[in-house]
Structure 1
Amino acid sequence: MDSKNKLLLILFIAVFPFSLFSQSSWISDEEMKFKILVPDNYQKNQFREGTDKILAVLSPDQNVAVRVRAFPASEQVTVDLIQQVFEQNVISGSSRLTQEDGHLNQIPARAAAYAWRYNNMNTVVGSYYIIQNGTGYIVWTLIPRNLLQQRSKEADKILDSFSLLEPSAGNLSVANGFGSPGQQANPQNRHEETQVVLTDFSTGTNPGNDLQLSNISNAFSCFVPTIDLVFGYTGNATGSNFIVKWYNDTHQISVKEFTFSPPDAEAGRGHAFITNNGNPWPGGDYHVEIWHSGNVLGKKSFVVSTQKSQFPESQPQPLSQPGYFSLVSDDACIEHLAPDGYRVSENQTGLSVWKNGSGINMVQQIVIKQNNMQAFISNQISTLKDQGATVINTENFSQSGLQVYQYVYEYGNSLFAYSASENNSAYYLLGFVGNKNERNQILKLMDETGRSFKKANCSGDPGYSGSNPDPVQKSNFMR
C-alpha cells in the first residue's frame, strides 16, 4: 500500500507500538482469484450472498474485522457503482472521511475511509474498491474508533497482503493445512464420515436442562439479551466438531461462531446462543447454520425487530433464582448466583474449591490487581496456550456496572469455563471444571452465574440467600 493510501494511519498519525501476529497463513480463493494473508488465530468464515462470495476474518478479541467481498463484474459495472452500493447497503449511515484513487499492493484501487456508528459503537471503516479481470472486489476493515491507534497496523498488514491470482479452477483453500470452519470438506473423503442428521432445530429463548426451549420463535425483540438455539441429531458425530455460525444478513456480518465436540454416542442434543452484551440488537434479518464435517446440516432464519417480541423477554435473573443461592466475595465485593448444593471442600489463600458430588467443581479465585483486567485475561489465555490447553471461546460484556470476561478451554479430558471481573482492587474469577462430556451443563453454569455478577454491598456480613443457603460457608478466603 502506498504511504498516501494508508487511510487508517492518515486519521491518526501517531501509532502506538503494537505486537502484531507472529504466524499467519495465506487464504486463497481460486474461484474468485485472490489471496490474503491472515493471522492463524483469527476466526475465518466464508459464505455466499447471491452471486457474491464473502470471506470474513475476525481477531480473537473481535476488535479487528476484515472482509473481502468478491463478485462477477460486467463491463457496465464501475468502481463508482460498487462504492455507491456498498455505502448505501452495507455501511448505511456512515460519513465518508477521505477518498482517493491509488493502489492496493500494486493493484489499481479506490480507497476510502468512513466514520460509522455500528452496534452502538463508534467505528472507523477503511475500504478498497477494485475491478479486475471481470471480478469486483471490496476489501475492507472495521475497527472501534477508540482502538484505532493500537490496531490500525494490524489491520493494514492484512489489507496490504491482498493479491490477485492467475485464473484457475478450485475452491477456497488455506496454506499450511489450515481448514477454514466454513470450508467444504474434500468430496472424496466424505464417504468416510458417519452420516449425521438433524432431528429437530429451533431458535427461541430459555433452554431447560433437557435442552428444549421454553419459548420457540423466529422473531425477537432487539432488547432480548440472549437468543438460543437447540437441536437434536442422530448418527455418531464424534471425530468432527459441530460448528454453529450466526449471521446478520441485513448488515452482512458474522455475529459469532461456536465450536464444540460431540460425545461418542449414536444420538444427542446441542445448544448454542448469542448475547447482545447489554446493547440492543441491530434490527434486521439474521440466520444461523449448523455445520458438521464440512456440511451444512441445517439453516434457520429469524428476524430481530425494534418492537416488543411476541413472548416475554428474558429478564436479568434475580439473585433469589430457584436452584441457586446468592454468593458474595467479600474480597472483591462482587455478588453472584451460585448453584445449590455446592459446599467448600478445599480452602487456601486466594483459592476455594466447591463440590456437590456431580463431578463438576466450582472454583473461586482472588488475584490482587496489578495492571488492568484485559491485560490480565490476555496473559491468562497466553499462559494456558503455552501449557498445552486448547482455548475454545472468549467473550466479554458489561453486567450491572462490571466488565465481565469469560473464557472456555480444554485440557486433556477436562473442560474449564471461567467468568472473571475486577472490583475492589482485585480480580475475581469463578470457574466450573468437569469432564468434557458435561460440556452443556458446565457452559450453562458459567452463563447463569457470570451473567449475574454485580457489585455487592460489603459494609456488613456478606450473607447468603436462595433456595439452599449455607451460612456456615464464607466466601472471604483472602483472610
Structure 2
Amino acid sequence: MKSKVRSLSILFMLIFLTTVVDAQWVTDTEYGFKIKVPNAWSKDKIQDGTDRVHDFLDPTENVFVEVRAFETGEGFTPDILAQVFESSGLPGAQRLAFEDYTLNGTSGKFAGYKTTINGLTVGIGAFYAVTRDYSYILWSLIPIEVYNQYSAKGDAVLNTFTLIPKVNKPRYVAKQEPQIELIAFKISDRITDDYDITVEKKRFPVATPNIWVVYDWKGNGNGSTFVVDWYYEGQYIRGASKEFKMPDFQDGYGYANIDMDGAFKAGKYTVEVKVDSKVLGTISFEVFADQSNTFQIKPPENSRNSVSATVWGKANSSYSVSAPQRASSSKVKTIKLGGSKNYYNFKKGIVKSYDDADLLNEPWCTEFPALCGNWVKTGKSQLNQVNSAPASGYISDGKGFTDCQQVPVNEVLVFKLKDGTYAKVLIIKDQFSKTNNRCNHDITLQIIYPAF
C-alpha cells in the first residue's frame, strides 16, 4: 500500500512538465490569465457568484481541468486557499503532496490528493496562487485506474497557465431610488406570537399597557433609513422613535410599540412610518380617560428598553416608552437555492458574494445537500420544536474558516451569526442533478430569522 501511495505521489510531482499540441488559447482578460486547451476538449465558462470559472473536459471524459479565479481578499495566501478548497471541495481527501511551486513565473503552492467521488477513486492535482488583484485555483481530476494513461494530458494543459495584464471593463451602475410602499398598516393593544394584529382598534383606555402597530411593505429600500415616530396632540414624543437601515429585501414587515406602563394621557395620538423623511403611512388614534378612576401619570420603571422625558407641559411628569422593534423576519420564509443562486444572507436574502453570505449551498456530488456556515443540528423535524439556541456544537466555532457539511432533509438547523443573532433553517426538499461531472442540489428551505 505504501509503495502505491508513493508512486502516486511521484506522478503528482511530475505535473506541469509536459506540453500541449493542436490547441488554442483560452484568454480571460478581465481576470488576467490565459491557458492553452486542446481544440477537441469541451470548454465552459460560468460565473459562480463572484468567481469566474473555466471548465475543460477531454473527449474521453477521463480528464477534467478547472481554473477558478476571484478577487483576492484580505489575508489570502496559497495556504489559506488550499485549506478552503480542501474543506469545501475535497472533504475526506488524502493529501499526498504540498510544496512551494512556481508556474510560468507565478509563485504558489502545488498539492496532490487522492479521494473517492461517487464510488470512483480519483487523483487530483492542484495549484494555488495569490496575486494583488486576483487569486487562482487550478486543478485536474483523473480516475486512478487510468491515471498513468491520461495524466500527461491534464498536466500539459495546466502547464500553459500564464498571467497576463488584466483589462478593467468600465461599469456603469445606475443609482436606484428606493421605491417603498406600505401594503398594510394596523394598530391594536394586542399582538399575536407571530407579530400580527387580528383585531384592530383605534380607541384605548388610559390604563392600556401597550399600543402596537404592524406594517407590511413592498419594494427595495437599498439601505434607506426606516423610521417610526409617535405624536401626542401634534407634539413629537421624544424617545419613542426608532431608526434603522432597511434590509435589501423586496418586501417585508415590521412592528413597533409604545409602552406607557398603563399611564397614557388622554387625547389624540398619531403614529407615522416613513423612509428617508417620506411618510409612507399614518394612523390616528385616541386614548380616553376612565371616568371611574383618577388619572395619574406613573414614573417610568427602570428598564434597559425604556427612556424618560418630560412632556405635555407638566414639569414633573414623565413617561416610559419601549423602543420600537426593528423590522422582523420572524415569520417562516421559504426560499430556493441551487444553480447560480447558492449564497444566502439572513438579513439581505439571496446574495452574489461568498463573503456576504451566512449560508452557502455547495454543489457537491453527495447524497445529501452540503451547507456551509456556522450551524448545529437539533435532531428536530419541525421549526416550532426548537425554542432556544443550542449552547455548543456549531460546526465552524473555533476554526479559522467556514466549515461545510452534509445536511439531511427535514432536520432543523440553528445558525449562529457573527452579530450574536440566530436563524432556524429546515431543508424540506432536495433535487439532485449531475451534468458533465458537475453536480447540483436544488434545495427548498424554510427559514425563521431572527429565531429567538
- For the superposition of Structure 1 and Structure 2, which TM-score range results when normalised by the shorter chain? 0.3 to 0.5
TM-score between both structures, scaled by the size of structure 1: 0.34
TM-score between both structures, scaled by the size of structure 2: 0.36
Higher helix share: 1
